[in-house]
Amino acid sequence: MALLQISEPGQSPAPHQRSLAVGIDLGTTHSLAASVRSGQPEILNDAQARGLLPSVVAYLDDGSVRVGWEALAEGTGRKQTRIASFKRFMGRSAQDAHAVNAPYAFAEGEGMARVQTVQGPRTPVEISAEVLRVLRERAEAALGGDLVGAVITVPAYFDDAQRQATRDAAQLAGLNVLRLLNEPTAAAIAYGLDHQAEGIYAVYDLGGGTFDLSILRLSKGVFEVIATGGDTTLGGDDFDAAIVQHVLAQSGAAAALSHEERKQLLIEARRVRESLTDSDSAVFEAVLVSGRAVHCTLTRAVFHALAQPLIERTLQWVRRALRDAALQVADIKGVVMVGGATRMPVVRQAVEVFFGRPPFTELDPDKVVALGAALQANLLAGNHAPGDDWLLLDVIPLSLGIETMGGLVERIIGRNSTIPVARAQEFTTFKDGQGAMSFHVVQGERELVSDCRSLARFELRGIPPMTAGAARIRVTFQVDADGLLNVSAQELSTGVQATISVKPSYGLSDDEIARMLADGMAQADADAQARMLREAQVDARRLVESVDAALQVDADLLDAQERIAVDDALNAARQCDLMDDTARVRAAIEQLTQATDAFAARRMDRSIRAALAGRAVDDILS
């Protein structure tokens, strides 16, 4: 007998009903949204049929806010603050933002960077939320309903703070984040590499404010990111800044500029740079607010010379990623170009020369990331057809670990580990009766905590009193598919546990990311020596504390001469923290060990005699 599924009135799903989801590329220069329609991803346009939304927000003195084209169209007759390229300040502190020398006034104070506007200070998270809100409204109008969520793309080299800032901005905009997807991976999806190709591909992503290089292995619908690298402070904006610097030097107008004048010159520089894509020369013309006129003719040859140092910086990251993946240039089957800045002929030429093959440029580099994100959003929303599945295996850009005694880093998850990932490691107490343990979570490639970036601190309390080294504390690191970290610590005998979701402060300098890997390689030998010294100092400290504790109980086992020798060796070992020579530290440890060998044997004898006192041999043997 066939069974019929019966639904109550109003409860049966509408035929062909689909969950509405979008992919969003929150870019430095432009942002856009895309969705899958009739099985194909397409860009969602506004009422004027424009797909791109300039990543510009204008705050007006009447309390209103203009976004995108409206912000650009807002005249100069009203008092306003117009902000662009704010993606560069995501996850950054006020001090870091000042260091970028951006054409904005930043509010003083600790914590997240805040731009001064006519409506008061605004964080990059709040500014980003304005753009995301417009994209959400555009998507809902185009798709005819509420969104179940969005996949938002981020540079592969965005750290925890920058990813969390992006999530916060989406929440402010009323968006449910289905996943944060690395921009290079989204571009590979858009090119259809998941179905039509196998092999190793590189994605070269040069946007307005960031650069990413990812190397992916594609096999039967599995995207495995095997290495990544990049610079979150390198993009088209830097090419514009190089043009401005050159023009000011040539025109003799290199006097101090106001924030407004600098913004004015950077806008003109972008126009000139884009003109040089199709022309051999372009005229740079601007009349500054102060009345000064700036005029200069820039040839393509001169611009190429200005661009070479910046392009070489991107190629250095390419070489590092290849080295991390243990690959040669010849192993790369194809190169995908992503980001509006890759339209520059000089960039495409440099990439073609480096890889020895023309890169893929068939799709609009401004739209390719959003199209790939739309495909992933459609998948996560449950709209995919059988056979449309693929598996994304991204990686974390920098190692994660905790601080151990001596200021050393114990890595739990290494860089370029595939995410999501969970790893655990056991630690123990340092002192007798220690009832709590403090954990310092760090990120970076150096051996010493002082050379890495601090992520979070938390404590595990309620550890039962035990002798040093007897407690077993398991520390577990979990990195989710968005690259966000959770850390837990558990004492295994009692089950007492502490957990922290690592939501780092926004005080990371983006320059640290570029520096960490370079320092990790350049300082490898020095770090190894420093680690050996710290480990030896920790051993000396542990031995000193052990001998001190033993003397408090059994000092009577030493005669006067032996006590003098032990005290001398103890005093020498106490100085180990001040020594900078591993060999001297180890010599001091050896001297103290030899001076206390006989003492240790006598203590053992006394302990055995005490344990056996008053007991019959038969009782002991039984």
Would you call 431 a catalytic residue per the annotation?
Answer: no
Of 130, 160, 205, 231, catalytic: 205
Would you call 130 a catalytic residue per the annotation?
Answer: no
- Pair 193, 475: CB distance under 8 Å: no
Cα angle: 551, vertex 555, 559; to 5 degrees = 135
- Which residue reads 């990049």 in tokens? 230
Of 130, 160, 168, 183, catalytic: 183
CA distance 331 to 238: 31
Of 87, 212, 263, 491, catalytic: 87
- Whether residue 465 is preceded by a cis peptide bond, meaning omega within 30 degrees of 0, is no
* Element of type H or E holding 97: helix 94-99
- Pair 258, 289: CB distance under 8 Å: yes
CA 451 to chain centroid, in Å, comes to 16
Name the pairing type of β-strands 436-443 and 485-491.
unpaired
- Reduced to 3 states (helix: H, G, I; strand: E, B; else coil), residue 182 is strand
- Pair 209, 341: CB distance under 8 Å: no
Would you call 519 a catalytic residue per the annotation?
Answer: no
Would you call 205 a catalytic residue per the annotation?
Answer: yes
Beta strands in 405-537 (DSSP E): 408-413, 418-419, 421-427, 436-443, 453-461, 473-479, 485-491, 497-501
CA distance 204 to 182: 12
In one-letter notation, the amino acid at residue 144 is G
Of 25, 126, 168, 510, catalytic: 25
Measure CA of the first residue to CA of the last residue in the chain; give whole Å: 73
**Whole-number Cα distances in Å, 303 to 96, 246, 463:** 29, 9, 64
Catalytic residue annotation: 25, 87, 183, 205
